[in-house]
Structure 1
Amino acid sequence: MPQESKLDFPELHIIHPQDNQAHTHTAILLHGRASSGPEFAEDLFSSSTSTGKTLSACLPTWRWVFPTSRNRWSTSFQEDMCAWFDVYSLNDITARQELQVEGLRESVGYVLGIVEGEVERLKGEGEDGRVFLGGMSQGMAMGLWTLFCAPGDAIRRWKLGGFLGMSGWLPFAGEVEERGRGQGRGKAALGFFSKKISASDSECDSDVLSTPVLLTHGTDDVWVSVDLGRQARRVLEETMGLSVEWEEFTGAENDGHWVKEPEGFDRILRFLERT
């Protein structure tokens, strides 16, 4: 299974717990294509819940970690851009899918290393489940692959609090469905992820399939169709056997490609507050 990438990635953008409060939880959130960690953090914390407070203000003991991807060549745009992996088309996510593999392999290793570091940082601070992983748009896609490519021994150490996906999709969703048909579908589907990244059927740990998941998506999203979010939900639930909470809404900013304010942020807050 992949280890932390040795390739150069930009510095992490970190929002520390407020007013020197003790660190109790960490959220690792991945930005979308052509964005960055600092930009995603600014956008996220410019939005509020129904109380008028941001997520960071509502969760003052949390540490918020916003990684930034490397610049890589975009085949569709014919230029370098900040992206976790190359995507040829979001109108047809099956088109030239193999372009995604190199970036997924590099980025999965990098993000796994960040998760390991945050788990270690919170070691001895009480119960497990204090680290959350998630992302927006391509960041959601990247986060799901990171979760499903984690080595079994890491999953047993981590026991993540949950996964939060916003306005995203699942790369190779059709292949995951095909791999996961029949008996032992969840674990069989996990084998697809490890094989695609490491070119071997490494042992997978089904503990990852107990990770709580919240997915949100705008029905009017013009950048990533809500149908792709619904497909991700279906594969996670019906093929892999995860318990997925799903929230659709209409009228979010950025042509629907964002979280509806404040309702969507209230929903995210309730999900994060459960630990």
Structure 2
Amino acid sequence: MIADLPLHTIPPARAHTHTVIFLHRNRHFARETVNQLHEATDLSWRSIIQNYASTRWVFPQTPTDEPLMPSLLSISTGVQHAVQRGEPSWWQEAVNDEDEKDEAERLWDMMHGLGRRMRELQKVIRKEVVMLGGRWDRVILGGIGHGAGMALMTLINLDDTSSPGISDDDRPQPLGSFIGISAELPASIPTLISTPLLTPNEVSPEGPQVLKKTPMLLQHFHNGGTSYMQRGRALREYLRHSAGVEVVCWKEYMNGWPYLNSPTGVEDMKAFLKEKMDMRTNW
């Protein structure tokens, strides 16, 4: 049975038309990502969240490796709540630079956990599609840092026809958009290509149409360092040329890492959603 991930949600202020599913970085909580998205504003001093009043925002929270502490009574509010311990991470990061063999071994050790997370996130996507009356094209999937990488692997594996209990009429369709900010993957592209994470075992005869036909916006930042930019460009080239994604919009900024460039990055995101999905600001 596929578990339900904890969700931090922001309901739409108007009639629900779209949903954004956005994943946090490693060692961060979903609520921190909400704050980061609010702190980056456009030219009118509005965050990307504030620009879309009819959009539901969903922030899945990956569990930590440590259990919750027992419920405590807050002195200031008098409300009982559980305290989360540990650092939530989509996968265990490498401690030091690894050679290709060590990287491959570490990745295979993580495969079961990564597969479980992908299935949990696919469940979140399907629930949002149902809320939107079956409109896959009104769901935007994305994330920041490791969350962007986790979201991308989830998107790639939506095309996996070996998923149990899915009829032909229930096959996933291309999403409205994918937005990756400072996307980080659990291993290098060459190592990942040898695993089902980027090459699902079974896809439709026409190929991975969900991935190919979902427009993508990738934002990367020069102040993240040279190796970080190299990894981002390698991902861009993989998506454009090896994976055959039809629309990969690549944006580079001098600063903003590890969060979001303001105001240009926010304006670029708005322009992308307007061009690819006809999403209009409705504040």
TM-score w.r.t. the length of structure 1 is 0.79
* Structure 1, 111-120 or 243-252: larger mean CA deviation: 243-252
SS in 2 for 1:66: strand
Q: Give the paired residue count.
A: 242
The root-mean-square deviation of aligned C-alpha atoms, in Å, is: 2.7
Match of residue 44 from structure 2: 51
- 1:207 paired with 2:209, answer yes
- 1:109 paired with 2:115, answer no
- Residue 157 of structure 1 and its aligned partner are, at CA, apart by 3.8
The correspondence of residues 129-140 of structure 1 with structure 2, limited to 5 A, is 129-140=137-148
2:190 to 161, 174, 193: 174
Deviations 1:73-99 (A, max 9, x none): 8xxxxx952011122158559523324
1:15 to 10, 31, 37: 10
Alignment partners' CA distance in 2, 1:92 and 1:51: 45
- 1:230 paired with 2:233, answer yes
Distance 1:143 1:191, change over 3 A: closer
SS in 2 for 1:45: helix
Structure of larger gyration radius: 2
- Residue 202 of structure 1 and its aligned partner are, at CA, apart by 2.2
- 1:246 paired with 2:250, answer yes
SS in 2 for 1:158: coil
* Structure 1, 42-51 or 134-143: larger mean CA deviation: 42-51
Identity of aligned residues (%): 27
Distance 1:121 1:25, change over 3 A: same
SS in 1 for 2:220: strand
Distance 1:190 1:36, change over 3 A: same
Distance 1:257 1:116, change over 3 A: same
- 1:119 paired with 2:129, answer yes
- Residue 190 of structure 1 and its aligned partner are, at CA, apart by 7.4
- 1:100 paired with 2:110, answer yes
1:36 to 21, 29, 34: 29
Counterpart AA for 1:61: S
CA contact (8 A) 1:169 1:231 kept: no
Match of residue 260 from structure 2: 259
CA contact (8 A) 1:222 1:257 kept: no
